[in-house]
Structure 1
């Protein structure tokens, strides 16, 4: 087989178990073949779940992750498995959202990254969490995340 930028991927193309925790999840990346161009990549996870660390009850969020790649792209199956690893992980909304963003920013070293964590209400209060690595880059089309303020979000 010819060596390609995809040769180091271990999870794509086969059966992969859901990691037991975010710490156990393995993110994978590939070289960005368009690294000379600034462009936005968006991942939307409208059915993200984690657990309340106090009650063990499920928490649900709509996550929107935007990033302007540098030298690396995240492999989407590894991202899906990483996000799925929060299903049995107990942490507050803020911790889950920021942990995801920081892990991606550290792993990919993107030109820019932001995350919007739009959490569904628990105790009658929706909690939305936002973070970004710095100022939005100029010259890159980055649309609004498109998630309305809570009014029976769906």
Structure 2
């Protein structure tokens, strides 16, 4: 806001156009037959060399696994226990390999606790760390419309269902 540029104005216009086209959209909650939790993590920011390393990916996966473990308790108390392993999709192949085959390595000493935490959950069958499908590797390119709509629908952000009530 202190130094707006043309790119900022264009981005603002794009957001306003999107909001105008989705005025009736909202967060709709529906009963689901799914009893599994799937999460995605991508720890790096485009064109940011400080976040493009395996350590950031390890910590990202560990944070997701920690949040998933926390979610198990309230869901259990709501009589909706998660019976399947939590799927964690990560785009870093090295991280996935390390969680499946923990090897002491000089470069992983300072993230050892994160690695062992996730490895323990993997060994117990509570978590599966998989490679994210290629269509979700969107970090350095614009988000394709079909993927955006897919993400939006997966969050249950959609127009309200047609009402079956009669309006008098």
When Rg is computed on C-alpha atoms for both structures, the one with the higher figure is 2
TM range (shorter): under 0.3
- Please report the TM-score for the alignment, with normalisation by the length of structure 1: 0.27
More helix by share: 2
- Please report the TM-score for the alignment, with normalisation by the length of structure 2: 0.26
More strand by share: 1
* Greater relative CO (CA pairs within 8 A, separation 6+): 2
